[in-house]
Structure 1
Amino acid sequence: MKQVLLILCLLPLTLVAQNKKKKDYLVKLTTDYGTMHLILYDQTPKHKENFIKLVDSSFYNGLLFHRVIQNFMIQGGDPNSKNAQPGQALGSGGKNYRVPAEFVPELFHKKGTLAAARDNNPEKASSSCQFYIVQGRVWDEASLAQQRDRIKGMNGHLPTEEQANVYKTLGGTPHLDGNYTVFGEVIDGLAVVDSIAKQPRDNRDRPQKDVRMNMEGKWIKKKKITKQFGYIYAKK
């Protein structure tokens, strides 16, 4: 009898686990320049869990993209930005914890990458809440070779041949690989990144006109995400 009860107790948990594998968390990021949709990688579970927690708590709603650099990236998530005055320096705000680094060589800084900002802590642990989305640029072989030298100097991850081809076609920021945790990507709305990145900015790279964000997330069947956005999940 005890064995039967144990099986019955475990069965719902098993079904929940199986159901979760069939779904993924889709982030909808809305700005005045349009909407982006993002997915979060399973290979970086600490960052995924943390980001979901923040999105579900409406933490990011009303915050600014406080640092934008064309052909590089757009950065946001500083809680001090919500009520920031014009010209106020931003970028040092956060919660009272860091997220341990999760460097995965297969995850790299191609255009549209979602990655965690950080300070200069020796563990390269991530900010609790600040993030950036890569715009980057397209690299030719000569300039990519210079990037490889820069990566070696920073003790980062050198791009594989496949990743190098992405940098030479789609674009990105290769010198960040292996030094900042990549934990997701934009799967719809890359043009929004381009629009935000080119906004006029001050000498601290803060947009002269505030660029606010709102985020919401929900669990959706992976098949639906693939059908709607064309994102292909890797087979396990």
Structure 2
Amino acid sequence: MAINKVVSYFFVSLLLVSSLACGQNKDYLVTITTRHGEIQAVLFDDTPQHKNNFIALAEAGRFDSTQFHRVIKNFMVQGGDVFGKEGLPPQEWPTIPAEILPHHYHRKGMIAAARQNDNINPTRASNGSQFYIVQGRTYEELELTTDFTALQKAILQYVQLESQRPLKEEYNRLYAEQKFDSLTNLILSKRDEIAQALKLTLTKTYTPEQIKAYATIGGTPHLDREYTVFGEVISGMDVVEKIAQEPTTREVPDTPVWMQVKVEKMSKKKITEEYGYTYPAIK
């Protein structure tokens, strides 16, 4: 009798281990269908509240017949306004606690959660349904690693110094002529000089991987550490590009870009084979 119990427990344990292993070897493949084509994506395990919420909305069909309602070329495309579609008053829209992680940054193709501004949302909680896909642009290392907000304040202080009168005149001339690219280049060229003179830190820290990604792939780095990034497009960025090219009025596409969203469980091996996505190593 005792032996039978041991054997029974042994087989139950094997089944549990097998079930857990099977679950770890599968993932949800997200497919967003639009009139421009399909976008496939995966969602990150280390942002579980955002991943589970998105999957639940998709499985219930609640994303269907929502739009990409906010489109800004060379920035991002935003959609999935489930609660607006369902007529829920904005003050009652659910939110998700922030899951902002430093290794998930806003390179091109990343999926992140929209949210209200810090002044009314200091915890940076995400909207319970709306998401955006990053398009962005490429950045040189000097531009990427500069804290522009701090630098802009610093240069206004710096040009007040008597010794910097020529710089002040050049700054004012470029501003008056609306040569803003040249003005930006001028400000950047003076960054380290200003930092040293005023004893300020005017830089932001990025890893070599991030610097390379923003220089070659592109993205929207000023959103890093501000919004929860919880997924990544693994196929169909050409569709995102087409959506980003839509003519808009006040950022709303003149012709609606409706979406349908489905999720299906698929082995990670198959996702890698079909879409070339490499899952991060489990630490």
Aligned length: 224
Q: Which has the larger radius of gyration?
A: 2
Q: TM-score, normalised by structure 1?
A: 0.86
Question: Where in structure 2 are the equivalents of 1:186-201 lying within 5 Å?
Answer: 186-201=233-248
The match for 1:111 is: 108
Q: What letter is aligned with 1:144?
A: L
> Which of residues 74, 77, 93 is equivalent to 1:74?
77
Following superposition, the deviation at residue 17 of structure 1 comes to 1.5
Identity %: 44
> Which of residues 54, 57, 63 is equivalent to 1:54?
57
Following superposition, the deviation at residue 4 of structure 1 comes to 5.5
The match for 2:26 is: 23
Deviating more after overlay: 31-40 vs 14-23: 14-23
The match for 1:89 is: none
- The answer to whether the 8 Å contact 1:159/1:174 transfers is no
* Closer, same or farther: CA 166–150 of 1 in aligned 2, 3 Å: farther
The match for 2:141 is: 141
2:259 paired with 1:223: no
Q: Which runs of 5+ in 1 are unaligned?
A: 85-91
The match for 2:260 is: 214
SS in 2 for 1:74: strand
- The answer to whether the 8 Å contact 1:64/1:81 transfers is no
- The answer to whether the 8 Å contact 1:202/1:208 transfers is yes
Higher relative CO (Cα under 8 Å, sequence separation at least 6) belongs to 2
Q: TM-score, normalised by structure 2?
A: 0.73
Q: Matches of 1:174 and 1:79 in 2, distance apart?
A: 27
SS in 1 for 2:248: coil
- The answer to whether the 8 Å contact 1:101/1:180 transfers is yes
Cα RMSD, aligned residues only: 2.4
CA deviation string 1:29-88 (max 9, x = no partner): 11001111000011111111111111111110110011000000000111255489xxxx
Q: Matches of 1:16 and 1:219 in 2, distance apart?
A: 15
CA deviation string 1:118-150 (max 9, x = no partner): 11211111111110000000112333234x444
Q: Matches of 1:151 and 1:133 in 2, distance apart?
A: 28
Q: What letter is aligned with 1:230?
A: G
Greater helix content: 2
Q: Which runs of 5+ in 2 are unaligned?
A: 154-203
- The answer to whether the 8 Å contact 1:72/1:173 transfers is yes
Structure 1 runs (4+) deviating above 6 angstroms are none
